[in-house]
Amino acid sequence: MDIKNKSLLKNLSYVDGEWINANDGSVTEILNPANSESLGSVPNCGSSETVAAIEAATKAQTKWSKADVKERALVLRNLHRLMLENQDDLAKIITFEGGKPISESVGEIAYAASFFEWFSEEAKRVYGDVIPGHQYDRRTLVIKQPIGVVGCITPWNFPSAMLARKIAPAIAVGCSIVSKPAPETPFSALAMAYLSELAGLPKGVLNIVTGDAEQIGAALTGHKDIRKITFTGSTSVGKLLLKQSAESVKKVSLELGGHAPFIIFDDADLDAAVDGALIAKYRNSGQTCVCANRIYVQSSIYDDFCERFTQKTSGLLVGNGLEEKTQQGPLISNNAMKKVSLHIKDAKDKGAKIATGGNPHALGGLFFEPTVLTGVTDDMLIAKEETFGPVAPIFSFESEQEVIRRANDTSYGLAAYFYTSDLGKSWRVSEQLEFGMVGLNTGIISTEMAPFGGIKESGLGREGSKYGVDDYLEMKYISLAGIEE
């Protein structure tokens, strides 16, 4: 990988402040999805290396939880600064391993760094409570304490931001972490571990174990010293981790799949809605869990919207993410290509029209044409499943109640979007959409300052914002008696 600061390129796991190989010396090769070239390899660790990391984290946690809060805040501020000082190189690493267009990768590093800044501030605001005693000589105190060692599993689509969103609150409140990056994108996580060392994080507080997903996941969920699991990824893996964690009753946060409706009412600003839908659909080539997956347009403006949206979609530049002008990079894998093709074929077979795209891109490999489908109906696969690719299915609707019912008709509940200029409708629809996050007249909802997370089968818990520390804390009530002389 051609970057300026070569020290960021680590190809070993990071345990107890040491860079380690797998015990059996085995490695996994990492490929650039844009051209299938090898980017190097990382250790193929399993249970035993994970258990060693948990032991190191357990030892480190006792000390870290007693560090002055200002020391923890300073480490996080340092990490924020170091991430931004290395922004271009870290962005290139994301693009090399995940294929993301470089402008989006630069944005992801700023997003990741923002969590370190935010939680450096929140570290000082872990407030408790004093409650009137239920008897005259009693007082009731509530304190919040770090939950302990956190097992963390992160996805390939935001390899830097999702790790930062999980480890920043953990570090802030005095937890230690054992983290497994996605097999496709380990280098961003390893670079962050290297920077955490420079930022002054004591050894053992952050451990990164690369390798076998099943073995590492089972070791994390099965170990008694892991008190919390935090995971971003598919709903099916999230359910498995939840089941595995039940045995020792761990606290679990899950940020899982989504199937976001994007609704455009006929009183909306249509230009703004087209631009909002474009970013909500094609950010990271449609590979985000908050992507617009079902675009509902009121019938009186359907043709107009489809025409404008299709025109902009067909102008999106597909290419290697390292080229500055690229707006759509490759997909992550052959399975992703297959799912996209399947959704398009199914929709076509059931009567949808392809307004643009519809095929693998002429560049070959993992590139797919940004695609718009019109005349999409609720019986099609794409109406029911998350696509995770650059396909925009456009449905037509007549009334407010009808579209709310159809939007909510899913087991997912992560993000929803709608455009309207009617104030009453803004409230009514926001309140009735069964999703954890609603974008009203915007296609971008991600920020470190708001609580990110879903309901129903899209997850448990919230990340970012003032609520983001709660998942890393335990509440303790102290009943103080014997006050009277």
Active-site positions read: 255, 289
Of 47, 78, 95, 157, the one binding ligand SIN by CB under 6 A? 157
Which residue in the shown chain puts its C-beta closest to ligand SIN? 446
Is position 290 an interface residue for ligand SIN (rule: CB under 6 A)?
yes
CB 193 within 8 A of CB 143: no
Is position 237 an interface residue for ligand SIN (rule: CB under 6 A)?
no
What lies within 8 Å, CB to CB, of 221 at 6+ separation is 151, 229, 241, 244, 245, 247, 248, 250
Task: Give the integer Cα–Cα distance in Å for 366 and 329.
Answer: 9
39 sits in which H/E element:
strand 38-43
| Least Å from the CB of residue 321 to ligand SIN | 17
Stretch that binds ligand SIN, among 14-22, 28-36, 195-203, 286-294 (CB under 6 A): 286-294
Stretch that binds ligand SIN, among 47-55, 123-131, 212-220, 282-290 (CB under 6 A): 282-290
| Least Å from the CB of residue 255 to ligand SIN | 6
Stretch that binds ligand SIN, among 211-219, 284-292, 304-312, 398-406 (CB under 6 A): 284-292
8-state DSSP, 1: -
Is position 150 an interface residue for ligand SIN (rule: CB under 6 A)?
no
CB closer to ligand SIN, 10 vs 339: 339
Is position 158 an interface residue for ligand SIN (rule: CB under 6 A)?
yes
Is position 285 an interface residue for ligand SIN (rule: CB under 6 A)?
no
CB closer to ligand SIN, 388 vs 397: 388
CB closer to ligand SIN, 215 vs 287: 287
Is position 87 an interface residue for ligand SIN (rule: CB under 6 A)?
no
Exposure class string for 316-345: b at 16+ Cβ within 10 A, else e:
bebbbbbeeebbbbbbbeeebbebbbebbe
Of 215, 230, 446, 465, the one binding ligand SIN by CB under 6 A? 446
Task: Give the integer Cα–Cα distance in Å for 12 and 186.
Answer: 10
Of 160, 185, 232, 327, the one binding ligand SIN by CB under 6 A? 232
CB atoms within 10 A of CB 271: 9
Of 230, 288, 310, 458, the one binding ligand SIN by CB under 6 A? 288
CB 109 within 8 A of CB 79: no
| Least Å from the CB of residue 299 to ligand SIN | 31
Is position 235 an interface residue for ligand SIN (rule: CB under 6 A)?
no
What share of residues in the chain are helix, strand, coil (percent, to 5)?
Answer: 40, 20, 35
Which residues from 448-477 bind ligand SIN, rule CB under 6 A? 452
352: left (phi over 0), alpha (psi -120 to 50) or beta: beta
Tokens at 460, concatenated:
């448990």
Q: Give the relative orientation of helices 102-122 and 161-173 as an angle to the nearest 10 degrees.
A: 10
| Least Å from the CB of residue 38 to ligand SIN | 27
Q: In what order do the strands lie in the sheet with 473-480?
A: 129-132, 139-146, 473-480
Which residues contribute to the site for ligand SIN (CB under 6 A)? 157-158, 232, 288-290, 446, 452
